[in-house]
A and B are shown apart, each in its own frame.
Chain A
């Protein structure tokens, strides 16, 4: 029987974990410990549902409903002085709960505080664009769509940004195989040479550590060199080894210490 490989998460996994090992947690503290954050949280709570809020590593994390994302960011920008969106992206929790988590990393330069707004959406659900508030979200949301397939509503130019436009699959999902899928293996062959060349060229091998022992075009073996492109799969000619020393060792016969210069400093 073939070994079962899970399809919902094909990423690298630790091959051994102690069965009694319990992962420690990064300390969380209550938002009320910090006056500035407490005031910001009050402002959000006055208008929106807050599912959870805490402080972790000096930053406040607020978890909200996904359909409030635009309004909450608007409130933070206009009333709480969080004028910059440093970063936003998604996290793939499809395996565990069938959802994407989207985070917005905000910065207030006047208060010197950073807040992370997080919300969860279903796999097929779309999220509202915040591009109207922060222009940088234009590119971030495109990247999020490109990498996870999270569709963003009201975005001015919802296209892939890093991958080619006709790419299939979303590379940062946990279901996306590490060496690329079937589509990835044929993409460049089809694109450059056409589908009819598939049989001649073969699928692209994306294993960076792959070495073909008989490949004399891309690999040379020191001391056993053969002419470029020779077929050595059926055995190879013996390469006679010749050492330079057989002709005599290169020696300095006349050395004049007066005429030579010793360099001691590289003139930094």
Chain B
């Protein structure tokens, strides 16, 4: 321990273990730009990082253990707490995995509503990413602008399901509610203005000197590194791999809509930033197309599978057997067949996969959550060495990690 009265520098958060120049800096776990509870142990030579060691687990809630002790429908609201920036995409991944396990076909209107929710969530997540990353680098204006737009989207989702952050808006076998009357009009109004808004952000950032210094040629991930570290989503596409699960292994109605997959081979922070902006435009394009699909779909919202899914409310209230089945499904839970699935979906952060091993009981025997942010945090081990302290913040920013998902 140093003596603070000896006229030598006294650092509260830094330990000197050796006599050489190496210093170990403890970044976090309470650091505003870590976007959660991330602790980084950085070995430094002057300002340069020689070794990085991310330490996670501060938000570990044992979701996989919880899943093994809940009936399938009970676990749905828990999935909200993974990537809480875009919670419907977690709901959807789980619902899709269980549907594949059972072999359910979802009604078309439910598919349309799910698509709308997924893309609205993607926009929300990307806007949030832009806002917080810009704030970390010092662009307060962008933060306020992007949060304003995100607020409109949260209002939209609130109109649909009543929640702003933890939506639980999707059920196994469909969706619980139809869209409210004003939803489409509000959505179109928002989408019409979105290109202007994105242009505003780009005008503020694209040629901004500070932004470019922190973004260009910083945090370069090579293609091999991205593949080896299991990167997905924008982290992978910014490194020159054109792989979007929505395009390559389409689920829901993604094979019926027209959209591009933006790719870059630069691999640096700036490439990732450009991809986020491009993806927002693509999402808007998808939303326009899906909004047109809604008209003319038949009004069913839940799949018909009496063994697994409760009947519609009208049937439950009028038919005795439907009521009995509903009672069993609520108290004991559905029992999917014996088998296992791994279902990947493209969440805003990357490949979100659910591995479910069912032994025919009402609880999954094993459920593994494949959260993209887990490896996007791991890659910091190899990515940070060679960079300088101010770059750490911008690199953490563009990896877009959410700690609900890293620690689960």
Chain A positions near chain B (C-beta within 8 angstroms): 11-16, 23-28, 56-57, 59, 61, 83-87, 89, 91-92, 103, 105, 109, 112, 114, 116, 134-136, 138-139, 147, 160-164, 171-172, 176, 178, 266, 268
Additional A-B contacts beyond A23-B359, A135-B225, A136-B375 (18; CB < 8 A): A11-B68, A14-B361, A15-B332, A25-B338, A91-B365, A92-B366, A109-B248, A112-B249, A135-B229, A135-B378, A135-B379, A136-B229, A136-B378, A138-B381, A139-B378, A171-B65, A268-B152, A268-B186
Q: When A14-B332, A23-B359, A84-B230 are in contact, do A171 and B62 touch as well, CB less than 8 Å?
A: yes
Interface string of B334-345 (1 = CB under 8 A from A): 010111111110
One of A12, A24, A83, A138 near B337 (C-beta < 8 A): A24
One of A24, A89, A134 near B368 (C-beta < 8 A): A89
Which of B65, B70, B232, B332: most chain A Cβ within 10 A? B65
Residues A114 and B342 in contact, CB atoms below 8 Å apart = yes
Residues B57 and A164 in contact, CB atoms below 8 Å apart = yes
Q: Bound state CA distance, A150 and B72, in angstroms?
A: 27
Residues B382 and A135 in contact, CB atoms below 8 Å apart = yes
One of A11, A86, A266, A268 near B363 (C-beta < 8 A): A11
Measured CB to CB, the closest approach of chain B to A80, in angstroms, equals: 15
Tally of B interface residues using CB under 8 Å? 59
Q: Bound state CA distance, A255 and B60, in angstroms?
A: 55
B185 closest partner in A (C-beta): A268
Q: Bound state CA distance, A25 and B335, in angstroms?
A: 11
Residues B339 and A56 in contact, CB atoms below 8 Å apart = yes
| A contact face: mostly helix, strand, loop, or mixed | loop
Residues B366 and A91 in contact, CB atoms below 8 Å apart = yes
A136 closest partner in B (C-beta): B230
| B contact face: mostly helix, strand, loop, or mixed | mixed
Chain B positions near chain A (C-beta within 8 angstroms): 56-57, 60, 62, 64-65, 68-70, 100-101, 103, 152, 155, 186, 189-190, 225, 227-230, 232, 241, 243, 248-249, 332-333, 335, 337-344, 351, 353, 355, 357-363, 365-366, 368, 370, 374-375, 378-379, 381-382, 407
A-B contact pairs, 17 of them (CB 8 A): A11-B68, A14-B333, A23-B338, A25-B337, A26-B103, A28-B339, A56-B339, A57-B341, A86-B232, A86-B353, A103-B355, A135-B382, A136-B230, A136-B378, A138-B381, A147-B64, A160-B57
Residues B382 and A87 in contact, CB atoms below 8 Å apart = no
Residues B229 and A109 in contact, CB atoms below 8 Å apart = no
Q: Bound state CA distance, A109 and B244, in angstroms?
A: 10
Residues A86 and B351 in contact, CB atoms below 8 Å apart = yes
What residues on A are CB-neighbors of B65 within 8 Å?
Answer: 171-172, 176, 178
One of A16, A26, A172, A178 near B101 (C-beta < 8 A): A26
Q: Bound state CA distance, A2 and B25, in angstroms?
A: 55
Residues A26 and B69 in contact, CB atoms below 8 Å apart = no
A14 closest partner in B (C-beta): B362
Measured CB to CB, the closest approach of chain A to B346, in angstroms, equals: 13
What residues on A are CB-neighbors of B249 within 8 Å?
Answer: 112
What residues on A are CB-neighbors of B374 within 8 Å?
Answer: 139
Residues A84 and B227 in contact, CB atoms below 8 Å apart = yes
Residues A85 and B230 in contact, CB atoms below 8 Å apart = yes
Which of B339, B365, B379: most chain A Cβ within 10 A? B339
Q: Bound state CA distance, A134 and B375, in angstroms?
A: 11
Residues A162 and B338 in contact, CB atoms below 8 Å apart = no
Residues A56 and B341 in contact, CB atoms below 8 Å apart = yes
